[in-house]
């Protein structure tokens, strides 16, 4: 038989244990009260009316202030040509232009664009009347699954305009340097548009073809 364990209850030990139990109980009550408390109401309105000039047509929308431009285009205007890919601004499938500048519409809130001019792939061309860039993509097999193609075409048109206007890429960085139409320059400027099918060589060929046609037109 094991010998009896000597145990001595000291007054200090008793008081410390009681205090710890009381603090734990109080913390539990505070946590329960906080869980039961209603969520704080948001400050200001939850939705806003915005006017957009989309593909040359004025559109007025009432959107939740958290709605991205991408979701407003797709869900409220049914312009589903602009694709939702990563939804984190990493793939470029949602590329459209705002006031002539290409953006990732998944990273921009619709309420930020009141009064802005927005162009989506639907405003670039139609199957019956394709834009030269769209025709070049078809001719050069610049797509496979086609999911990234609207963003690719939108970016490609902007790339040519940027180069012709002498706007440097973030790598060039020299405003006084002449920007040449090279494969490296085009690839750098298109690097924000990802093609998981790997049709990059054909995309490059399509962009180069349109750029050369534009240059020939300028010379004429």
Mean pLDDT of 74-81: 97
Q: What is the CA radius of gyration of the chain?
A: 30
174 pLDDT higher than 80 = no
204 in Cβ contact with 140 (< 8 Å)? no
Residues 115 and 167 occupy one common structural domain: no
Mean pLDDT of 40-47: 74
Find the domain containing 147 and state its range.
125-220
Residue 37 inside a domain? The answer is: no
Domain boundary among 108, 123, 138: 123
Residue 168 inside a domain? The answer is: yes
Mean pLDDT of 90-107: 97
55 pLDDT higher than 50 = yes
Q: Which two tokens stand for residue 181?
A: 């139409």
**pLDDT tens for residues 130-172?**
999 999 999 999 999 999 999 999 999 999 999 888 887 755 4
Decide which of 1 and 119 is more confident: 119
- pTM summary value: 0.76
pLDDT averaged over every residue in the chain: 86
Q: Please give the pLDDT value at position 97.
A: 98
Residue 181 inside a domain? The answer is: yes
Residue 70 inside a domain? The answer is: yes
Total domain count for the chain?
Answer: 2
Q: Distance (Å, rounded) from C-alpha 216 to C-alpha 179?
A: 17
Q: Please give the pLDDT value at position 26.
A: 64
Residues 161 and 212 occupy one common structural domain: yes
Decide which of 182 and 173 is more confident: 182
- The C-alpha torsion from 152 through 153 and 157 to 159, rounded to 10°, is 10
Domain boundary among 66, 101, 123: 123
**Which CATH number do you get for residue 103?**
3.10.20.30
């Amino acid at each position: 038989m094991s010998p009896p364990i000597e145990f001595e209850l000291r007054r200090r030990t008793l008081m410390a244990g009681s205090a710890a139990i009381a603090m734990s109980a109080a913390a539990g009550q505070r946590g329960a009260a906080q869980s039961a408390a209603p969520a704080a109401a948001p400050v200001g309105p939850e939705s806003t009316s915005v006017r957009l000039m989309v593909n040359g047509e004025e559109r007025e929308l009432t959107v939740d202030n958290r709605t991205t431009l991408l979701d407003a285009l797709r869900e409220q205007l049914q312009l589903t040509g602009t694709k939702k890919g990563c939804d984190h601004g990493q793939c470029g499938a949602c590329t459209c232009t705002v006031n002539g500048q290409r953006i990732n519409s998944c990273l921009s809130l619709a309420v930020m664009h009141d009064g802005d001019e927005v162009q989506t792939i639907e405003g670039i061309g139609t199957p019956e009347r394709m834009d030269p860039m769209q025709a070049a993509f078809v001719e050069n097999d610049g797509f496979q699954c086609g999911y990234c193609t609207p963003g690719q075409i939108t970016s490609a048109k902007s790339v040519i305009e940027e180069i012709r206007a002498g706007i440097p890429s973030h790598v060039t960085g020299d405003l006084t340097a002449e920007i040449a139409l090279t494969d490296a320059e085009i690839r750098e400027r298109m690097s924000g548009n990802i093609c998981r099918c790997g049709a990059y060589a054909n995309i490059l060929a399509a962009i180069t073809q349109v750029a050369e046609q534009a240059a020939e037109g300028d010379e004429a």
